[in-house]
């Protein structure tokens, strides 16, 4: 049988020897139940999105996704594993100092931290670094003017599958305050990475990426070693790279769909810059090159194939509770009349974006999840849409011209700074003592199969 990604496969298998304390008991050649590889399996790919049979017939892409389903983040995982003998607060402190002052500013740095930072300092030759800053400039516009209205909806989309949502449920992030903190942390991360120079070695985006990786590794470590609820045979590796890919590529996936629907097969120069920016941000988050396609067709195919190979399951006690908690969370920094009005408007936009993009406006499903659009939601969107979308389209068009584009970027950057202040200071932490006893039973189908 052909092996299309031998280097990636070796990287997956090497986790066992590289970090035996965490991965020593994992069979990396086994396929967890979450993988839906048979044509008769129910997958999370909606029938209206793509032809599943055609995607499953692509052996190369199927191998990529099955392999990446067992890929964690061994350098960050090794550092997080030090929690067994050090407090996670001290680990966070050393990581922050290393990001801001270099590894030499942390004389007590363990080898695990040195390797973690060194992996992020690499400059892969498959990234076009000349385009990254231009891509960030382009991404600042939607980050400042559109993302605040849809980030909640995009975040909820990650909870539509039990197998992918379980790690978040285990952390206990079901309550209002915790749900609000996770949404704001996510919004803050994506916003700060678009700031001028943010992804440079000592930029705030570099540090934010390192903190996100550590948080994911902490969840991975606690799920495997502390929660006693994680079933490797069913779920595979917690937060595998294949599950981080959608969040990192969702914006260029939607962009790629527009390109292909418009009859093109290549990016234009502006789109290409955004793609390279997103690919580098994903690299800093630990994703391998194999999961970061360079063409519109490649992006669409790999995201669709990921859904086509992910077994369909929606456990309302896990997914439904996460969606409802996220929808109900109050995200604004105060309870002032203005903030309360803005929160109501943002929730209406998030409902609209979530139901239209991920549920195809199916009211029966959206009502069951608690995110149905009411008349007041439609009214809020209709009244504010000219301002919200008008400012976005104006800024995007103005950014094309030399002088006015520079002035526009200055204004957009100031707006983004304001957005960041409203999101609060991200913590990017997780506490094993707060993990919840969810999913104690294997899914019925998995239990029957096992």
What 3-state DSSP class applies to 35? strand
| Tokens read off for 108 | 């007590």
Average pLDDT estimate for 241-270: 95
Q: What is the pLDDT of residue 173?
A: 56
Average pLDDT, the chain: 91
Measured in Å, how far apart are the chain's first and last C-alpha atoms?
26
The burial of 357, by beta-carbon neighbours within 10 Å (0-12 exposed, 13-18 middle, 19 or more buried), is given as middle
Q: What is the pLDDT of residue 433?
A: 46
| Tokens read off for 304 | 């669709």
pLDDT classification of 1: cutoffs 50, 70, 90: low
Of all residues in the chain, the percent with pLDDT exceeding 90 is 78
Does residue 447 carry a pLDDT above 60? no
Q: What is the pLDDT of residue 120?
A: 98
Does residue 317 carry a pLDDT above 90? no
Does residue 445 carry a pLDDT above 60? no
Q: What is the pLDDT of residue 435?
A: 42
| pTM metric for this prediction | 0.92
Least confident of 13-17, 174-178, 330-334, 403-407: 174-178
pLDDT classification of 449: cutoffs 50, 70, 90: very low
How far apart CA 60 and CA 436 sit, in angstroms, is 38
In sign, the C-alpha dihedral spanning 379, 380, 384, 386 is negative
Closest CA to 80 of 113, 40, 37, 32: 113
Q: What is the pLDDT of residue 446?
A: 52
Q: What is the pLDDT of residue 448?
A: 44
pLDDT classification of 444: cutoffs 50, 70, 90: very low
Summarize pLDDT for 156-196 with one digit per residue, the tens.
998 999 999 888 777 765 566 788 888 999 999 999 999 99
Summarize pLDDT for 63-84 with one digit per residue, the tens.
999 999 999 999 999 999 999 8
Per DSSP, 312 falls in state P
pLDDT classification of 393: cutoffs 50, 70, 90: very high
Average pLDDT estimate for 396-404: 94
Average pLDDT estimate for 276-292: 97
Q: What is the pLDDT of residue 169?
A: 78
pLDDT classification of 428: cutoffs 50, 70, 90: low
């Amino acid at each position: 049988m052909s092996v299309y990604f031998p280097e990636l496969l070796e990287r997956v298998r090497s986790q066992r020897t590289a970090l035996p304390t965490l991965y020593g008991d994992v069979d990396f050649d086994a396929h967890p139940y979450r993988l839906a590889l048979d044509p008769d399996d129910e997958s999370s790919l909606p029938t209206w999105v793509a032809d599943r049979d055609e995607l499953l017939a692509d052996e190369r892409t199927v191998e990529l996704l099955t392999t990446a389903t067992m890929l964690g983040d061994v350098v960050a995982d090794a550092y997080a594993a030090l929690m067994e003998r050090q407090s996670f607060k001290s680990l966070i402190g050393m990581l922050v100092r290393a990001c801001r002052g270099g590894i030499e500013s942390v004389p007590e740095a363990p080898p695990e931290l040195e390797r973690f930072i060194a992996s992020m300092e690499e400059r892969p030759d498959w990234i076009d670094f000349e385009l990254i800053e231009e891509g960030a400039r382009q991404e600042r516009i939607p980050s400042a003017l559109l993302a605040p209205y849809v980030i909640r909806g995009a975040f909820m989309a990650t909870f539509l599958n039990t197998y992918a949502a379980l790690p978040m449920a285990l952390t206990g992030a079901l309550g209002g305050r915790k749900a609000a903190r996770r949404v704001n942390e996510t919004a803050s991360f994506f916003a700060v990475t678009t700031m001028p120079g943010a992804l440079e070695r000592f930029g705030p985006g570099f540090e934010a990426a390192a903190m996100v990786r550590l948080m994911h590794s902490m969840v991975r470590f606690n799920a495997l070693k502390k929660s006693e609820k994680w079933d490797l045979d069913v779920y595979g590796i917690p937060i595998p790279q294949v599950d981080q890919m959608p969040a990192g590529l969702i914006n260029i996936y939607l962009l790629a769909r527009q390109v292909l629907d418009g009859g093109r097969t290549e990016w234009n120069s502006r789109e290409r810059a955004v793609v390279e920016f997103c690919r580098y941000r994903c690299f800093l988050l630990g994703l391998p090159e194999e999961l970061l396609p360079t063409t519109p067709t490649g992006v669409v195919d790999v995201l669709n194939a990921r859904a086509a190979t992910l077994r369909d399951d929606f456990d309302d006690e896990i997914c439904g509770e996460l969606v409802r908690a996220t929808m109900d969370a109050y995200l604004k920094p105060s309870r002032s009349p203005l903030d309360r009005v803005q929160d109501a408007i943002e929730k209406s936009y998030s409902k609209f974006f979530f139901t239209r993009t991920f549920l195809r406006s199916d009211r029966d499903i959206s009502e069951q999840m608690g995110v149905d659009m009411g008349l007041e939601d439609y009214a809020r969107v209709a009244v504010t849409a000219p301002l919200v979308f008008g400012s976005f389209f104006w800024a995007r068009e103005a950014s094309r011209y030399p002088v006015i584009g520079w002035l526009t970027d200055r204004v957009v950057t100031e707006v983004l700074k304001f957005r960041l202040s409203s999101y609060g200071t991200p913590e990017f932490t997780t506490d094993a003592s707060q993990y919840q006893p969810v999913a104690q039973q294997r899914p019925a189908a998995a239990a029957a199969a096992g």
